[in-house]
Amino acid sequence: GAVVSQHPSWVICKSGTSVKIECRSLDFQATTMFWYRQFPKQSLMLMATSNEGSKATYEQGVEKDKFLINHASLTLSTLTVTSAHPEDSSFYICSAPGTSGVAAQYFGPGTRLLVL
Amino acid sequence: GENVEQHPSTLSVQEGDSAVIKCTYSDSASNYFPWYKQELGKRPQLIIDIRSNVGEKKDQRIAVTLNKTAKHFSLHITETQPEDSAVYFCAASIGSGGSYIPTFGRGTSLIVHP
């Protein structure tokens, strides 16, 4: 149980375009999901907390107009990188907290974004 | 906010040796401490966790200890094997019910030489 999927697994795009990444909880409902960015050989940096039915909460320094988050349902959150630039190239991972008092995070497989 | 320091950044051991990774945290309200293993290009996987009301927890070759007074916790891997090679992240979380938001350490790259 507690499987989180992400799509796409990798994407290459041109500078200036927008990219949408989907995060789905497959066998449980997630009212909250988290979006992380991970640069090579670095830690997971929390970008924002996605809340079903309300606005996302962004961490300090993360541009909410650039990284659009929509938590459309109890099983789907999307992250859209708008007007992507090469410095946005990174590994983006979503996670959802466990259910029924389980404290651990369940991570998606990640999306590798390369902006040319 | 919470700040988690993790050491060492790289750890190289021979197969069969023990490996210890240490983390400290700043917020005394943190009450949940998971450890994740991340292989190259893959998602982090929970390997063991401990809550603030417990001092030690063991699962086969892996153990975690927590010192709340000193605000540090450690991961111990015994009888290391090449497949233990990965990046390990500690995290400190504050929460209750189903809502724990972790702050991650910077990670430790463990290399186990056969």
Distance CA A58, CA A94 (A): 14
- For residue A68, give Cα distances in angstroms to A47, A84, A107, B114: 11, 12, 20, 46
Q: Is residue A26 classed exposed, middle or buried when 0-12, 13-18 and 19+ CB atoms within 10 A define those classes? A: exposed
pLDDT of residue A8: 97
When CB atoms are compared, the residue of A41, A43, A109 closest to B89 is A43
Residue range B55-66: mean pLDDT, rounded: 96
> What token pair was written down for B93?
């979380």
pLDDT for B99 beyond 80 = no
DSSP state of B53: T
Q: Residue B99: what residue type?
A: S
- For residue B106, give Cα distances in angstroms to A44, B36, B74, B76, B77: 8, 12, 14, 17, 19
Contact B41 A110 (CB under 8 A): yes
Q: Of A31, A32, A105, which to mutate for an interface test with B (greatest number of B Cβ within 10 Å)? A: A105
pLDDT of residue B97: 62
pLDDT digits (tens, 9 = 90+) for A21-76: 999 999 888 888 999 999 988 889 999 999 888 899 999 999 999 999 999 899 99
**Residue appearing with tokens 């189903």:** B98
- For residue A88, give Cα distances in angstroms to A44, A58, A110, A115, B32: 15, 16, 15, 7, 31
pLDDT of residue B57: 94
Shortest CA gap A107–chain B (Å): 6
pLDDT digits (tens, 9 = 90+) for B4-39: 999 999 999 999 999 999 999 999 999 999 999 999
pLDDT of residue B54: 83
How many other CB atoms sit within 10 Å of the CB of residue A29? 11
Shortest CA gap B9–chain A (Å): 10
